[in-house]
Amino acid sequence: MTSPTDPATEHEHIRVTVRTPAGASHEFRYRPAELVVAATATAVEHFVKAKELGPDDYGLALVRSGTAVALLDTNELRSYAVVDGDVLHLVIEKPQVDG
């Protein structure tokens, strides 16, 4: 068995679904060592190109057992024990301003 920090796991991928605030979703393949900021950028780029999301400052959150955990951009996905089948949610990181 390999540990999460074992170099043999560096080439493995996990499949997760990323959802936008409007409910659009897409399955992505990420490496466990992928930085959250890179995973976020990949997802945002996909949804913006598909016209399912407007450009903005987004972050990712992992929801498990009804509790949302914001993922820090500088951490790796494996820091949150993200596994195949997890659902990550894109969330706007800066407050929206009216007017």
The answer to whether residue 80 is domain-embedded is yes
HEC states along the chain?
A: CCCCCCHHHHHCCEEEEEECCCCCEEEEEECCCCEHHHHHHHHHHHHHHCCCCCCCCEEEEEEECCEEEEECCCCEHHHHCCCCCCEEEEEECCCCCCC
pLDDT at 4: 46
**85-89: average pLDDT:** 96
Read off the pLDDT of each residue in 70-86 and give the average, rounded to a whole number.
Answer: 96
Tens of pLDDT, residue by residue over 34-64, are: 999 999 999 999 999 999 999 999 999 998 8
Q: Is residue 7 over pLDDT 90?
A: no
Q: How many domains does the chain have?
A: 1
What is the residue range of 35's domain? 12-92
CATH assignment at residue 65: 3.10.20.90
Tell me whether residue 7 is in a domain.
no
Domain membership flag for residue 19: yes
